[in-house]
RNA sequence: UGGGUCGGCCGGGCGAUCGCGUCACCGAGGGGCAACCUGAGGUGCCGAGGAAAGUCCGGGCUCCACAGGGCAAGGCGGUGGGUAACACCCACCCGGGGCAACCCGCGGGACAGUGCCACAGAAAAUAGACCGCCACUCCUCCGGGAGCGGUAAGGGUGAAACGGUGGUGCAAGAGACCACCAGCGUUGCGGGUGACCGCAGCGGCUAGGUAAACCCCACCUGGAGCAAGGUCAAGAGAAUCACUCGCUCGCGAGUGGUGCGUGCACGUUCGAGGGCGGCCCGCCCGAGUGCACGGGUAGACCGCAGGAGGCGGCUGGCAACAGCCGCCGUAGAUGGAUGAUCGCCCCCGCUCACGCGGGACAGAACCCGGCUUACAGGUCGACCCAUUCG
RNA sequence: GCCCCGGUAUCCCAACCGGUAGAGGAAGCGGUCUCAAACACCGUCCAGUGUGGGUUCGAAUCCCACCCGGGGCA
């Protein structure tokens, strides 16, 4: 689980990250990364739409993502705002695959930042 | 033993570690003369459901409203009871289904009125008469035909045709008459709180369906909703007023107050507008209101979890349920807390086995009572039918 | 939280105070025209009304429950 300080809670920043940020997609996930200096620490937010499934499925996906993101916080390319968006296929994917997709996306973000 | 009917309960279990959230306690450090405030971090407890779901009903709670009358609108619909209330529950009545346990029923009124009943059929509703049957009159090529009456037994149509069966009767027929049956109205007696039931008598012989068509009758119903509502902050460039100061004399700066701004329309006792659930009357409040455009804010706390609460026992009641006593204390988020890893056991599938894979439906958002819908599997109880044995 | 609307041929839609589904347009197919095509004209094909149940003699229509899609307000 992510500590509260690392959670993205402002809808304005969500909007900015999705609109202006660098994008990296994988099978189940789409990552948006926006470097930012006016945050104390990097913040991560999640978007899981109704297309993914019912409330139980959406909650499970969101919780698994929050858990995985916590373990990979150090792999972020610097300081900024990350938005993780789940595709409908995320509902059928196992936790291991979800982690693989997350690492893959983070790697692409880093290579693009350089 | 086999088949079936009904009802209740559970909804993987135990343990370990790392996280997350509420609460309680401890608390490095920081601020302050102090009271105290803040607080990294740590420890402990607790942390989704039977449907949390759909949002279909009913309440609690909060705010607004709370002279009255009339008319509309919506809901409900056998009877009696339960309940805070209900469209829910229980018991019973009536109708239908089943050998039975039991199940199903939006189950008031069609002599208050109106509408509709396609096609077919002669006719679809205070009846009427196509084919037919029969009498009489006339004509005749003796097969029959025409006219005028009687009749509704038979024919065929239809979802439905103005009681059914048998007889008497008749020119042919007909509740015209008779017997039985079905049904309607009514009277009396008996039973039941009641819906209603039973028995006996009388009447006229017969009345179509549809109210989940309008409608009539009885009963019920203020409006919103926790983003309700309350407290406190923050913001307020622009607008405007007062005072002071400066000077290039109509602008600028500062302080304080008021306080969203602009445009248009209608208004201040000749009453705009609002309220009384909708409309009309009537009553009340009343100096601003309505529309358009532009701008600002969207933070914290309370509400917020002890409630028609759960479990057990006793009493009353056929039951739903109620009363009394004892015990228990059980989520409270706000981008929204339940995730991850591992061990043992349980269930299912595959497999000779080792082992491998899987674990239904589904996530609290103010709180309850119901209804409806989804659901792997397990478990308990009552009853019915058939068969065998005793 | 509260509240609306819709679902009919492949598509867009009629029929909605009940009478046995098509009035129409587009697309498709066949033909006429053309060297060929487009356009135009003619003809033709196409469903049981989102699902289940009920009321009725009869339901796309009325009633109830559910499913799906779309929208509004705070």
Q: Any bridge partners for residue A60, and if so which? A: none
Q: Where are the domains of chain A?
A: 4-109
Q: Please report, rounded to whole angstroms, the spatial distance between the CA atom of protein residue A11 and the C1' atom of nucleotide B18.
A: 30
Q: Please report, rounded to whole angstroms, the spatial distance between the CA atom of protein residue A60 and the C1' atom of nucleotide B374.
A: 20
CATH number of A4-109: 3.30.230.10
Which is more confidently placed, A38 or A75?
Answer: A75
Strand B, nucleotides < 7 Å from a protein CB: these are 19-21, 48, 52, 334-341, 362-364
Confidence of residue A74 (pLDDT cuts 50, 70, 90): confident
Predicted TM-score (pTM) of the model is 0.77
C-beta of residue A86 within 8 angstroms of C-beta of residue A25: no
What's the pLDDT at A114? 54
Burial of A1 (0-12, 13-18, 19+ CB in 10 A): exposed
């Amino acid at each position: 689980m992510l500590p509260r300080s690392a959670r993205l809670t402002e809808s304005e920043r969500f909007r900015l990250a999705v609109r202006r940020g660098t994008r990296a997609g994988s099978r189940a996930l789409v990552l948006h990364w926006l470097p930012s200096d006016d945050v104390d620490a990097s913040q991560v937010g999640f978007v899981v739409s109704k297309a993914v499934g019912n409330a139980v499925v959406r909650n499970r996906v969101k919780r698994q993502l929050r858990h995985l993101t916590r373990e990979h916080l150090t792999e972020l390319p610097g300081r900024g705002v990350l938005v993780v968006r789940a595709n409908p296929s995320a509902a059928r994917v196992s936790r291991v695959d979800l982690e693989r997709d997350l690492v893959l996306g983070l790697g692409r973000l880093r290579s693009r930042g350089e």
